[in-house]
Amino acid sequence: MRLLHVIGKRFSRNKLSVLGTITILLLIMVAALAPFLAPYDPTSIDVHHVLSPPNLKHPLGTDELGRDLLSRIIWGSRISLKVGFVAVGISVLIGIVIGALAGFYGGLIDAILMRFVDIMLAFPTFFLILAVISILEQNIFTIMVVIGITSWMDVARLVRAEFLSLKEKDFVSAARAVGASDKRLIFNHILPNALSPVFVAATFGVAGAILIESGLSFLGLGVQPPDPSWGNILTAGKDNIEVAWWLSFFPGFAILITVLSYNLVGEGLRDALDPRLWEAEKY
């Protein structure tokens, strides 16, 4: 508990990271309360208010079909956050398994797994996702899974590095001496001590996944209309950029704020969890 207190105290010193955390919590609340916060049905068409600029009835304006932009952005936050959390969950799980096996056993297993990681890193992630998405059915489940299984390499390398260091520590040697199995050593002794960089990578990963989903939807390969996502709202903005600036500005601003907030939180966690900075503060 004292360790958590120290980490929380160090994190709270970074005002931008605290602001990012508050913003993320607000976004999560907005997504969870979308049915109550959205003033209109996000798919409801109103031909009498096509491409209306921001006004009292529609605070953020309407799109080319007369749909309320504020409602669509609020509902779109659900898609973006869902993709971010689920995709990162998949990538972290895969990365932990591969990184733990490579770092703990070393030798041939490490060589094979790391060469596989190198092969995956050789492919540009976004173009690899584009290739897979273009073949499979385009729905939210496919997007989450594909982003997850193409984004785990950095986590695997982080976990491997931690395992290579931690497996030589005295507490692991002591556990091995009393007959602890490999499974117990990995999951009970080493992995809990190797998760700090994973939390940081996961935070940055959520921001990356949201950007990827928005990019896919913008290209028409992500969430399909009439379901709203920030990316496909931007597509409508591109098609009407000369007459409806609000269709590009507001969803783009939502993406900017969300990604920036996750990056700020990730930087704060990285500093708060870095033991080298703890030592530096003593002097």
The predicted model scores a pTM of 0.86
Q: What are the two backbone dihedrals, phi and then psi, of residue 141, each rounded to the nearest 5 degrees?
A: -65, -45
Counting the structural domains of the chain, the total is 1
Interval 119-134 mean pLDDT: 80
Mapped onto helix, strand or coil, the DSSP state of residue 177 is helix
> Contact, 103 vs 167, CB < 8 A?
yes
Half-sphere exposure of 185 (CA within 13 A, CB side): 23
> Contact, 209 vs 147, CB < 8 A?
yes
DSSP-derived letter for residue 41 is: -
Interval 164-169 mean pLDDT: 85
Residue 182, in any domain of the structure: no
Residue 259, in any domain of the structure: yes
Residue 90, in any domain of the structure: yes
Residue 281, exposed/middle/buried by CB under 10 A (0-12, 13-18, 19+)? exposed
CB atoms near residue 90 (< 10 Å): 20
Range of the domain at 202: 2-35+75-163+195-281
CATH number for position 233: 1.10.3720.10
Alpha helices, DSSP H only, in 193-272?
A: 196-218, 230-239, 246-272
Residue 272, in any domain of the structure: yes
The model's pLDDT over 87-103, given as tens digits with 9 standing for 90+, comes to 999 999 999 999 999 98
Residue 44, in any domain of the structure: no
Residue 7, in any domain of the structure: yes
CA distance from start to end of the chain: 24
The model's pLDDT over 235-278, given as tens digits with 9 standing for 90+, comes to 888 878 888 888 889 999 999 999 999 999 988 888 777 665 55
Spatial separation of the C-alpha atoms in residues 270 and 30, rounded to whole Å = 27
Residue 189, in any domain of the structure: no
pLDDT averaged over every residue in the chain: 84
pLDDT at 283 over 50: no
Residue 28, in any domain of the structure: yes
The model's pLDDT over 5-28, given as tens digits with 9 standing for 90+, comes to 777 777 788 888 899 999 999 999
pLDDT at 281 over 60: no
CB atoms near residue 136 (< 10 Å): 12
